[in-house]
Amino acid sequence: MNRRPLIIANWKMHFDFVEAIHLVQQIGVLLRSKSHDNVDIVVAPPFVDIRSVASVIEADRLPLAVGAQHVNALESGAYTGEVSASMLRRLMVKFVLVGHSERRTLFSMTGDIVAETAAACLRHGITPVVCVGENSDEREGGTHREFVEQQLTETLRFLEGLAGSIVVAYEPLWAIGTGKVASTGEVDEMSKLIRATLAQHQRGESHILYGGSVKTDNAAELITIADIDGFLIGGASLKAESFVEIVSQSSDCYGKKR
């Protein structure tokens, strides 16, 4: 592993702004006594919490960056309920999850929209975290490799010529929130495929994250996979203790491997 690990907490639709402040403060307290120097840490709260969370991070000088879970690809206009990349940028958002499987499946986010959204992030100096991953039918039918390669390629083609770094999160749908983590062999195979696809599009140095039931008891093993550079964490990021434990395990592993 030669890239400094990146650990992202995806809080999904949990916590109002008061709860979010408490959680980020707790994370800050725990980080004081746990190793984290070798990793970059991002928290991605619901939109309405971002301002409060960013204020705590700034005031307490916490070693955290702020992310968002979604953004609209368009600049501005009559799009009721939507939020633009420039608005997030003003809130000091550095990373945005783009095309999370919950957005793709529950909110009709097509591959084209994912690509346009990633491009909008880059234009505004935000790093898109492009989420890809197969469902259980694709996995069982043996088409998972083609599926993920195609999902990623459609975005990478669209980003050609655009400056700025991207992150790819491999999140097999059957492992999200199920407690069923992908095996190291499965993650190794898919992360190699993703690395090769990124390299074909001159983005071979991008971070590749794994997501899907990452917990304190499997993170240390997953982070040793050659092409995995960090995690996108749902459930285990909702508690400061488990999140910081995963951060610190990743930091220790990276420290030893360097």
Closest separation in Å from C-beta 213 to ligand 13P: 4
User: Do residues 70 and 103 lie in contact, with contact meaning Cβ atoms separated by under 8 Å?
Assistant: yes
Identified catalytic residue from 70, 100, 124, 144: 100
CA-CA distance, 70 to 88, in Å (whole number)? 10
Closest CB to ligand 13P among residues 63, 235: 235
Has 138 been annotated as catalytic? no
214 binds ligand 13P (CB under 6 A): yes
Q: What is the DSSP letter of 125?
A: T
Segment near ligand 13P (CB under 6 A); pick from 22-30, 82-90, 208-216, 221-229? 208-216
Q: For residues 98-120, b (16+ Cβ closer than 10 Å) or e, as one string?
A: bbbbbbbeeeebebebbbbbbbb
Enumerate the β-bridge partners of residue 9.
Answer: 43, 233
Q: Closest residue (Cβ) to ligand 13P? A: 234
Strands 65-68 and 40-44: parallel
Q: Which of 40, 49, 134, 171 binds ligand 13P (CB under 6 A)?
A: 171
Q: Which of 28, 172, 230, 234 binds ligand 13P (CB under 6 A)?
A: 234
10 binds ligand 13P (CB under 6 A): yes
Closest Cα to residue 101, out of 203, 212, 228, 8?
212
Closest separation in Å from C-beta 63 to ligand 13P: 21
User: Do residues 133 and 148 lie in contact, with contact meaning Cβ atoms separated by under 8 Å?
Assistant: yes
191 binds ligand 13P (CB under 6 A): no
Has 144 been annotated as catalytic? no
CA-CA distance, 168 to 170, in Å (whole number)? 6
Closest CB to ligand 13P among residues 141, 177: 177
Q: Which of 84, 191, 213, 251 binds ligand 13P (CB under 6 A)?
A: 213
Interface contacts to ligand 13P, rule CB under 6 A: 10, 100, 171, 176-177, 211-214, 232-236
Which positions are annotated as active-site residues?
100, 171
